[in-house]
């Protein structure tokens, strides 16, 4: 019997090798979420950006840890307080054979913020920046005030050719304008069905090992896993946490995991004396206890991050003590994960004047983050244990975010205590600090996602100073300080960092990326 099994295994192995030799260069990837367009400036959305990286280079590339590295620009540095000089790579050709020059950069920067019908464009990153061509391989970006994040902002903008600059979104989707300098060229695009790319043999960088890549959107998690098991696809993104244990035991499947830039955290109403979902025991009105830092600290101490990671996330997450995992620019090395201490939490609550706790409702989405509804339930149980009787209400993200941002009758955040996540697109700490921690200020564009309306002038000052400081070492320091102060004040309660999982057939592995992108260039043979 054993002999037979071995023989079969060998036979299968030979078959597999035979098949491999013929189709080894072709890669098929099952995607959890589909890009909405191949126009790289149409929709500033993770799946779109990931897809456009294949076809279009940026002036500055982000590696798998979102560190900046030279792309179409070989150097970028401030030459005075208000000017950044970008030196462009020479000898780079677009897929249609035309040369890449400063003119392409200028027209790219003009088109990116201004695409008709775009649901969400790239204007956010180009605001207040003026592009000037100096010569064919030098451009200057001018700003009205010193601006240190130039590299991060510019690394988000895909560079298109002059043909693309005059083209409409449909032309990109049809492929006629999808001409970049990237490692892959457009082959075909059928929305909902497949995107096929072929290798760019004239690529200026390391040529990809795959001659052809097909991306197939398979949004249903179990079907995606089944497609991989059936051999329809070679790799999938977004492996459901419930399938990870089973797949780990499967010798034909190789899992790749990596922490993401996404922190899951809790925002607490810190601006209303009378908060709609905070009640005294028994349901009476109460002065909002969440405004007291001791109460917020008690809540943070009552949450066992380890339990969330082990039980709810099945080990596929990292406990969080600040806004970004270690290794990112601007994180503090002084902050540890808040230790689970229910007795200390109770004592703090008593000290703040709530020995018997109060009543609270936690609101969260149920289809946005990995296991989001289960996390909200776990947190509610932990808080109930220290006397804060917590009810849970979760809803689809299409309803949730609108209400959480401005659902109250006055157009203010509707909820008192919410579960949210934040992915730092720029790959450094100013992104969450600016949007989540800084005082809400619509005119200056600060605190746009500060749904708890935490406000601390000193933290604000640190953040603003960091955003003016071009010197990297000094800025790193300021961002770390701002983070420390925000965590000290419990502006938000970070719970964990998401870990993403990719699964591939045996012999392939994926270089996990913090930005959650699925890139064919990251799929390597072992």
Partner 1 sequence: MTVFIIRRLLQALLVVFMMSVIVFFGVNIVGDPVYMLVSPDADQADIEAAISRLGLDRPILEQYWLFLKGAAQGDLGNSFIFGEPALKLILHHMPATMELAFSALFLAIVIGIPLGLYAGLYPDGMLSKGIMAASIFGFSLPTFWVGLMLIMLFAVELQWVPATGRGDIGSFLGIQSSIFTLDGLSHIFLPALNLALLKISLAIRLTRAGVREAMGLDYVKYARAKGLSTRRIILVHVMKNIMIPVVTVMGLEFGSLIGFSVVTETIFAWPGMGKLLIDAILQLDRPVVVAYLMIIVLFFVLINLIVDILYSILDPRVRLQDQGA
Among the listed residues 62, 66, 118, 181, the single contact to partner 1 using CB under 8 A: 118
CA-CA distances (angstroms) from residue 217 to 86, 221, 237, 460? Answer: 37, 11, 10, 42
For partner 1, give the closer residue by CB, 192 or 251. 192
Residues 486-525 close enough to bind partner 1 by CB under 8 A: none
- Burial class of 398 by CB neighbour count within 10 A (0 to 12, 13 to 18, 19+): exposed
Which among 215-223, 274-282, 299-307, 462-470 is the span making contact with partner 1, rule CB under 8 A? Answer: 215-223
304 three-state secondary structure = coil
Piece in contact with partner 1 (CB under 8 A), picked from 53-61, 79-87, 133-141, 192-200? 192-200
* Among the residue ranges 29-37, 52-60, 325-333, 491-499, the one whose residues contact partner 1 (CB under 8 A): 29-37
Please identify, among the stretches 117-125, 141-149, 277-285, 505-513, the one whose residues bind partner 1 according to the rule CB under 8 A. Answer: 117-125
Q: Give yes or no for residue 220 binding partner 1 (CB under 8 A).
A: yes
For the chain, report the end-to-end CA distance as a whole number of angstroms.
31
- How many residues sit in the footprint of partner 1 (CB under 8 A)? 56
Contact status: 232 vs partner 1 (CB under 8 A): yes
How many C-beta atoms lie closer than 10 Å to residue 29's C-beta?
A: 25
Instruction: Name the helix (H) or strand (E) containing 80.
Output: strand 73-80
Q: Does 18 bind partner 1 (CB under 8 A)?
A: no
Instruction: Give the residue with the Cβ less far from partner 1, 14 or 524.
Output: 14
Q: Which of 279, 455, 268 is nearest to 354 (CA)?
A: 279
Contacts of 330-334 with CB under 8 Å at 24 or more apart are 330/428, 330/429, 330/430, 330/433, 330/466, 330/475, 330/476, 330/479, 330/480, 330/483, 331/429, 331/479, 331/480, 331/483, 332/480, 332/481, 332/483, 332/484, 332/487, 333/480, 334/480, 334/484
Among 61, 67, 83, 123, interactor with partner 1 by CB under 8 A? 123
Span near partner 1 by CB under 8 A; candidates 35-43, 205-213, 307-315, 496-504: 35-43
Q: In whole angstroms, what is the distance from residue 503 CA to residue 227 CA?
A: 11
Greatest CA span in the chain, whole angstroms? 78
Q: Which 8-state DSSP code applies to residue 262?
A: E
Q: How far is the CB of 227 from partner 1 (least distance, A)?
A: 4
User: Is 176 one of the binding residues for partner 1 (CB under 8 A)?
Assistant: no
216 binds partner 1 (CB under 8 A): yes
Within positions 348 to 367, which residues make up the interface with partner 1, using CB under 8 A?
367
Question: 454-465: string of b/e by CB count within 10 Å (b at 16+)?
Answer: bbbeebbebbbe
Binding partner 1 (rule: CB under 8 A), the pick from 84, 100, 328, 446 is 446
Residue from 257, 449, 465, 507 binding partner 1 (CB under 8 A): 449
> Which range touches partner 1 (CB under 8 A), out of 240-248, 288-296, 298-306, 396-404?
396-404
Q: Which residue number, 38 or 520, has a Cβ lying nearer to partner 1?
A: 38
Q: Dump the DSSP string for 115-130.
A: -TT-SB-SHHHHTTEE
Helices (H), 211-302: 221-230, 241-248, 293-302
Q: Cα angle at 455 between 454 and 457, to 5 degrees? A: 155
Among 24, 174, 196, 226, binds partner 1 (CB under 8 A): 226
247 binds partner 1 (CB under 8 A): no
Is 56 a binder of partner 1 (CB under 8 A)? no
Q: Does 466 bind partner 1 (CB under 8 A)?
A: no
Judged by CB under 8 A, the residue of 218, 301, 323, 462 near partner 1 is 218
List 447's β-bridge partners, or say none: none
**Piece of 51-59, 276-284, 342-350, 438-446 that binds partner 1 (CB under 8 A):** 438-446
Q: Is 240 in the site for partner 1 (CB under 8 A)?
A: no
Kindly provide the b/e burial profile for residues 132-171, where b requires at least 16 CB atoms within 10 angstroms of the residue's own CB: eeeeebebbbebeeebbbbbbbbbbbbbbbbbbbebebeb
Residue 502's nearest CA partner among 230, 233, 295 is: 233
Q: Closest approach of Cβ 367 to partner 1, in Å?
A: 7
Q: How far apart are CA 487 and CA 143, in angstroms?
A: 32
The verdict on 191 binding partner 1 (CB under 8 A) reads yes
User: 236 or 298: whose CB is closer to partner 1?
Assistant: 236
Q: Which of 75, 120, 166, 408 binds partner 1 (CB under 8 A)?
A: 120
CA dihedral 477, 482, 484, 485 (to 10 degrees): 140
Q: Specify the stretch interacting with partner 1 by CB under 8 A; choose among 240-248, 397-405, 480-488, 514-522.
A: 397-405
Write out the residues near partner 1 by the rule CB under 8 A: 30, 36-37, 42-45, 116-120, 123-125, 169-170, 190-194, 216-220, 222-224, 226-227, 229-232, 367, 396-399, 401-403, 405, 422-423, 425-426, 431, 435, 442, 445-446, 448-449
């Amino acid at each position: 019997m054993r002999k037979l099994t071995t023989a079969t295994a060998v036979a299968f192995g030979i078959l597999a090798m035979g098949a491999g030799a013929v189709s080894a260069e072709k890669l098929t990837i099952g995607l959890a979420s589909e890009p909405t367009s191949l126009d790289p400036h149409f929709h500033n959305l993770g799946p779109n950006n990931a897809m456009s990286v294949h076809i279009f280079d940026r002036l500055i590339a982000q590696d798998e840890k979102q560190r900046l590295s030279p792309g179409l620009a070989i150097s970028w540095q401030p030459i005075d307080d208000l000017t950044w000089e970008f030196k462009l790579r020479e000898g780079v050709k677009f897929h249609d054979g035309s040369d890449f020059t400063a003119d392409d950069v200028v027209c790219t920067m003009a088109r990116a913020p201004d695409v008709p019908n775009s649901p969400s464009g790239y204007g956010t990153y180009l605001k207040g920046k003026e592009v000037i061509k100096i010569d064919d391989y030098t451009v200057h970006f001018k700003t009205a005030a010193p601006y240190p994040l130039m590299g991060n902002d510019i690394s988000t903008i895909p560079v298109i050719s002059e043909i693309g600059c005059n083209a409409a979104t449909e032309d990109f989707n049809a492929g006629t304008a999808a001409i970049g300098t990237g490692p892959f060229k457009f082959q075909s695009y059928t929305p909902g069905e497949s995107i096929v790319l072929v290798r760019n043999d004239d690529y200026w960088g390391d040529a990809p090992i795959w001659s052809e890549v097909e991306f197939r959107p398979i949004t249903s998690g179990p079907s995606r896993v089944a497609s991989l098991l059936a051999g329809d696809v070679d790799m999938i993104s977004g492996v459901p946490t419930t399938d990870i244990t089973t797949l780990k035991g499967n010798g034909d499947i190789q899992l790749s995991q990596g922490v993401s830039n996404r922190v899951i955290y809790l925002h607490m109403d810190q601006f209303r004396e009378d908060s709609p979902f905070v009640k005294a025991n028994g349901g009476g009105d109460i002065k909002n206890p969440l405004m007291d830092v001791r109460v917020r600290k008690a809540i943070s101490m009552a949450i066992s991050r380890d339990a969330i990671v082990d039980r709810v996330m099945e080990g596929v997450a990292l406990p969080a003590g600040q806004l970004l995992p270690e290794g990112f620019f601007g994180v503090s090395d002084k902050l540890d994960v808040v230790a689970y201490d229910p007795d200390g939490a109770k004592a703090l609550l008593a000290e703040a004047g709530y020995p018997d706790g109060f009543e609270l409702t936690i609101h969260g989405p149920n289809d946005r983050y990995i296991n989001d509804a289960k996390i909200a339930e776990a947190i509610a149980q932990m808080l109930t244990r220290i006397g804060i009787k917590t009810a849970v209400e979760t809803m689809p993200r299409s309803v949730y975010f609108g209400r959480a941002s401005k659902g109250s009758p006055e157009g203010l955040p509707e909820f008192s205590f919410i579960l949210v996540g934040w992915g730092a697109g720029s790959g450094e700490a100013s992104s969450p600090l600016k949007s989540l921690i800084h005082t809400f200020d619509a005119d200056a564009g600060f605190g746009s996602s500060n749904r708890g309306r935490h406000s601390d002038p000193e933290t604000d000052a640190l953040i603003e100073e960091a955003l003016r400081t071009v010197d990297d070492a000094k800025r790193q320091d300021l961002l770390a300080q701002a983070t420390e102060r925000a965590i000290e004040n419990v502006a938000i309660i970070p719970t964990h960092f998401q870990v993403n999982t990719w699964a591939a057939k045996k012999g392939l592995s994926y270089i996990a990326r913090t930005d959650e992108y699925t890139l064919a260039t990251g799929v390597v043979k072992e």
